[in-house]
Structure 1
Amino acid sequence: MSTFAWMRRLVLVLSLLVSGHALAADQCPTLVQRQSDPQVATRIAAIACDEHLRWNRPFIDADGRLASLTAYEAEGNGLKDGGSPWRRVAFYWQASGLLAPMGFRPGATDCGYAAINLSYAGLGCRGFVIDNPWSAAFVSWVMQRAGVPGFRGSPSHFDYVRAARKDAGSPYRFVEPMSAKLAVGDMLCYVRSNRVYGFNGLAKAIDSGVSGLPMHCDMIVAVDDGKAYAIGGNVQQAVTMRVVNLNAQGQAWGLPHRTEGDMDCSPQTQEACNFNRQDWAAVLKLKPQDALAMLGSVEPPSFLPSAPVAPTCCVNCVLGSGIPRCAAPGQAAPEPQPDAPLQGSE
């Protein structure tokens, strides 16, 4: 064999090995079978992975480039199982128990009806899904489904970030993001604000009693060969994976940070365009299994989220839903009327 032919074969073999390794790095296709695993961290990863596959596996690579995004939150179909993205988001809200507290928002009560009637257009619900960030509802649903003891769901990431810092009953610890050794079940979080907080700024804000900050958290589902794989909801309007480089100690490495005065992303400043450039302010470190057991049962939940329940009345009503308007305080509720015929379907 000539030297040239031998080198070509070597390059081909190395390419196949690299390609095969890259394909094997995403552990979600195998993790989905472990949603009832005894380990809490594994259940979190398996449930988040199952949803990521349902959304056709969009991801942001370690260089901050978005790929493979095929389904968006507002669409009527496009999920792997043929389902509707916006109805799936409504399900996260409902099954996490967070839809009722959002009932004052336009379209929220409509989502309870849309979730049980697939022939109902649900325009009010679709508007609610688009207008209200749902990433915290997604995290809360995953945690509820995984049976994470001590976790209190919220429509705001800030609430469980604050709990990790101030509440000994939280299943998480509040840790500086660049010094944390990332592990399955952890959450990597950033602040979504014009101001840059960083770890110290966020800790100071929490300790000073700030009631809320716009934030986002991704759940770590796998750590493999120098990379961490994290999944979050409402990342570019989908359930999306983020790939983060790690150093030899398992800490985030080369993760770009927002700074004061950052230039805006534009065609003229493409070097500023990176979906991983955020105000990374905290890692929520999942407590060990034995510590979680002190907060409550760590056994897999023996139930699935309850089926959607049709609302008995609505605050922001949609014409044609057949749901009566809720009575004003101190007045009797109106008698429910039969549903009006619905025209068309999705």
Structure 2
Amino acid sequence: MSIYAWMRRLLLACLLLAAGNAFAADQCPALSQRQSDPQVATRIAAIACDEHLRWNRPFIDTEGRLASLTAYEAEGSGLKDGGSPWRRVAFYWQASGLLSPMGFKPGASDCGYAALNLSYPGLGCRGFVVDNPWSAAFVSWVMQRAGVPGFRSSASHFDYVRAARKDAAGSPYRLVEPMSAKLETGDMLCYVRTTRVYGYDGLAKTIDGISGGLPMHCDMIVAVDDGKAYAIGGNVQQAVTMRVLNLNAQGQLWGMPQRTEGDVECSPQTQAACNFNRQDWAAVLKLKPQDELAKIGPVEPPSFLPSAPVAPTCCVNCVLGSGIPRCPAAGQAVQQAQPDAPLQGSE
């Protein structure tokens, strides 16, 4: 064999290997078919992956660059199945059971009707979707659909982060320091969304010292493969978006950009400071092993999946022509649960 023929074969082998690695990197197409898997962790990944595929697979690469974003929360069409992004977000709120506690918010009651009637314009609901961060509603819907025992659905990530620290026996998660954690499927990676930098120690002290909330965001780890972690979150740049992160040989985050006090602001003049992965990463929620989850509650795939909206019985901020009766005055009390407050430039 000539040297040129040998080089051609070597080049072909390298190209085939690269193609194989590119195909294997995104495990979501295969994972999305395993939503009834016996393992709780796999079901979490499968359901999150299925939604990521529905949103046309936008992602943030290891360099913090956003790619392939084609559908946004406020749009009336653009999902892979032809559906409406804003109606899908309304569905997360509705099917997770978190829409009713948000009934005091403008447009919330409109969402219940808009999710049932695709011909209904739902302008109030569309405004609600845009004005209220929905990442925690998305996580809550995934956890419910996956049948995660003991998970406490909330419109605020802080609530289940706090539960992981303060209710070690009842929570399906343990709160651990993010940079030393070995990431695995079913875990969640979380950051604090304020101008102040908390870090793990600051977050732990805050949980122990306050009774209120703290704006946060969490992504769900759906796969760990070949030195990479793949995380999916809702309301990440107005979509269900994947984040690709580097890991070291121990499966820990490696080279992860962390926010610090006095960071240079991202701008056209300081492009090196622009990175969607540079956040105040303050927590990993470690999913407990299957045998420990079984001590909290059933770990089998749920027989009922929250896939169909429930018709609203009354409305607070009613829309003319919706056909929904107004709730009595007693039903207009503001609920305690509040969603994470939107921040300028936040996800």
Please tell me the TM-score bracket, short chain as reference.
Answer: over 0.9
Q: Deviations over 1:122-168 (max 9, x none)?
A: 00000000000000000000000000000010000000000001102
Residues in 1 aligned to 2:239 and 2:189: alpha-carbon distance in whole angstroms: 18
Alpha-carbon distance between aligned partners in 2 of 1:163 and 1:204, rounded to the nearest angstrom: 14
Report the counterpart of residue 73 of structure 2 in structure 1: 73
Corresponding residue of 2:161: 161
> 2:90 is matched with which residue?
90
Cα deviation for residue 5 of structure 1 reads 6.0
Which secondary structure state, in structure 2, belongs to the residue aligned with residue 115 of structure 1? helix
Note the residue ranges of structure 1 that are not aligned, 5 or more in a row: 332-346
Once the two structures are superposed, residues 21-50 of structure 1 have per-residue CA deviations (whole angstroms, 9 ceiling, x without a partner) of: 122111111111111111100000001011
Alignment of 1:100-179 (within 5 A): 100-167=100-167, 168-179=169-180
Instruction: Between 297-306 and 182-191, report the one with greater CA deviation.
Output: 297-306
Preserved contact between residue 314 and residue 324 of structure 2 (Cα < 8 Å): yes
User: Which amino acid in structure 2 is aligned with residue 145 of structure 1?
Assistant: R
Contact 2:96/2:144 (<8 A) preserved: yes
Partner of 1:181: 182
Identity of aligned residues (%): 85
* CA deviation after TM superposition for structure 1 residue 4, in Å: 5.4
2:58 aligned residue: 58
Amino acid at match of 2:111: C
Structure 2: runs of 5+ lacking an equivalent: 333-347
Q: Distance in 1 between matches of 2:217 and 2:156?
A: 9
Partner of 1:336: none
Separation in 2, partners of 1:270, 1:39: 43
Moved more, 5-14 or 166-175: 5-14
**1:335 matched to which residue of 2?**
none
Given residue 173 of structure 2, which amino acid in structure 1 is its aligned partner?
Y
- The answer for the alignment partner of 2:13 in structure 1 is 13
Equivalent position amino acid for 2:313 in 1: T
Correspondence for 2:266:
265
Counterpart secondary structure, 1:33: coil
Counterpart Cα distance in 2 of 1:130 and 1:12: 48
Q: Does 1:215 align with 2:202?
A: no
Q: Summarize deviations over 1:194-226 as a string: whole Å, max 9, x none.
A: 000000000010011241110000000000000
Task: Give 1:233 shift.
Answer: 0.4
Mapped partners of 1:91, 1:182: distance in 2:
29
Q: Which residue pairs with 2:338 in the alignment? A: none
Shift of 1:305: 1.3
Q: Does the CA contact (< 8 Å) of 2:95 and 2:310 recur in 1?
A: no
Scaled by the length of structure 2, the TM-score of the pair is 0.92
Measured after TM superposition, the shift of residue 12 of structure 1 is 4.0
Q: Aligned pair count?
A: 331
- Cα distance in 1 for residues equivalent to 2:77 and 2:142: 22
Equivalent in the alignment of 2:310: 309
Letter in 1 for 2:227: G
Question: Does the residue aligned with 2:179 lie in a helix, a strand or coil?
Answer: coil
Whichever of the two has the greater Rg, that structure is 1
- RMSD, aligned α-carbons: 1.6
TM-score (ref. length: structure 1):
0.92
1:84-141 per-position Cα deviation (integer Å, ceiling 9, x unaligned): 1111100100000000000010000000000111110000000000000000000000
Alignment of structure 1 residues 233-248 onto 2, 5 Å? 233-248=234-249
Larger displacement relative to structure 2 (230-239 or 305-314): 305-314
